[in-house]
Structure 1
Amino acid sequence: MTTATLNAMPARRGGNPIRRAEGWLDARGKAAWIAATVVGFVVFWPIGLALLAYMIWGKQMFKGNCSTARQGRFGHTAFRSSGNTAFDSYKADTLKRLQDEQDAFEAFLQRLRDSKDKAEFDQFMEDRARKQKTDVEGDALDA
Structure 2
Amino acid sequence: MNQSALIRPDWTPATIAMMVLGFVVFWPLGLAMLAYILFGERLKSFKKDANSTVDSVFSSFKRGSGRGFCGPQFRTGNVAFDDWREAELARLDEERRKLDEMRQQFDDYVRELRRAKDQEEFDRFMRERNSGGSGSAPGFPAH
Is 1:76 aligned with 2:70?
no
Q: Return the offset for 1:130.
A: 0.2
Residue identity in the other structure for 2:111:
D
Query: Bigger shift: 78-87 or 133-142?
Result: 133-142
Calculate percent identity across the aligned residue pairs: 18
The unaligned stretches of length 5 or more in structure 1 are 1-9, 12-16, 30-59
Is 1:87 aligned with 2:78?
no
Higher helix share: 1
Q: Return the offset for 1:133.
A: 0.5
Question: Could you tell me how far apart the structure 2 residues matched to 1:140 and 1:72 are?
Answer: 63
Please give the TM-score of this superposition, normalised by the length of structure 2. 0.51
Q: Deviations over 1:93-132 (max 9, x none)?
A: 1010110011011111111111111111001100010001
Match of 1:126 in 2: 120
Structure 1 runs (4+) deviating above 6 angstroms are none
Match of 1:64 in 2: 55
Question: Could you tell me how far apart the structure 2 residues matched to 1:67 and 1:21 are?
Answer: 22
Which structure: larger Rg? 2
Question: Could you tell me how far apart the structure 2 residues matched to 1:141 and 1:22 are?
Answer: 70
Query: Bigger shift: 96-105 or 80-89?
Result: 80-89
Question: Could you tell me how far apart the structure 2 residues matched to 1:127 and 1:106 are?
Answer: 31
Please give the TM-score of this superposition, normalised by the length of structure 1. 0.51
Q: Deviations over 1:48-71 (max 9, x none)?
A: xxxxxxxxxxxx59x439963533
Assess, with a 3 A threshold, how the Cα gap between structure 1 residues 68 and 86 changes in structure 2: closer, same or farther.
Answer: same
Assess, with a 3 A threshold, how the Cα gap between structure 1 residues 139 and 66 changes in structure 2: closer, same or farther.
Answer: farther
Residue identity in the other structure for 2:86:
A
Q: Return the offset for 1:137.
A: 0.9
Question: Could you tell me how far apart the structure 2 residues matched to 1:25 and 1:109 are?
Answer: 42
Residue identity in the other structure for 2:91:
R
Alignment match of 2:110 (pick from 103, 108, 116): 116
Query: Bigger shift: 73-82 or 123-132?
Result: 73-82
Match of 1:22 in 2: 44
CA contact (8 A) 2:61 2:67 kept: no
Q: Return the offset for 1:85.
A: 1.7
Assess, with a 3 A threshold, how the Cα gap between structure 1 residues 114 and 66 changes in structure 2: closer, same or farther.
Answer: farther
Count of paired positions: 97
Q: How does 1:36-55 map to 2 (within 5 A)?
A: none
